[in-house]
Amino acid sequence: MNHYFEDNLKVFKLEGKLHKKIILYYANYKNHIKVRHPEMTMNKIEEILNEPDYVYKQSRNSTIFYYEKNILDETYRVVIETYKRHVKHVITAYNVTAEEGFTVKHVYCVYDKDTFIDYEDIKKGYENDMNYFYELFNIAE
């Protein structure tokens, strides 16, 4: 996990499934996440952002995203928000309890690992497929 310093504050650079530029201030991690949610580690946060089961928003216009992942029968959530243009930052991360299970946060599902289609992977698969090329341009071999 890469980091840099901004105004004498340590900042970690993370990457999410849907957002390529996510930052986490070390002060936020140390003073909030580790204090209030000691079960959350940097590795767990990174894993949830990289390989979430679901990503939700409260509405189409919301700037807050909820990345969720089930790990060993426990559900964990990492909350990110728009920080600057094309950059998000981690607000908090925690273990979801049964009472918080399904809430208003789940109104708009942005990503579901079971139904998500990564068009970049499909494009790469067809890149060197000559049969696809011939079929696409209606050319006989």
pLDDT in tens, 38-92: 999 999 999 999 999 999 988 888 899 999 999 888 899 999 999 888 899 999 9
pLDDT, position 2 = 83
Residue 139 amino acid letter: I
| Adjacent-strand bridge partners of 93 | 78
| pTM score | 0.77
pLDDT, position 3 = 79
Cβ atoms < 10 Å from Cβ of 130: 9
Beta 2-6 vs 64-71: how paired, if at all? unpaired
pLDDT, position 121 = 60
Residue, of 118 and 74, whose pLDDT is higher:
74
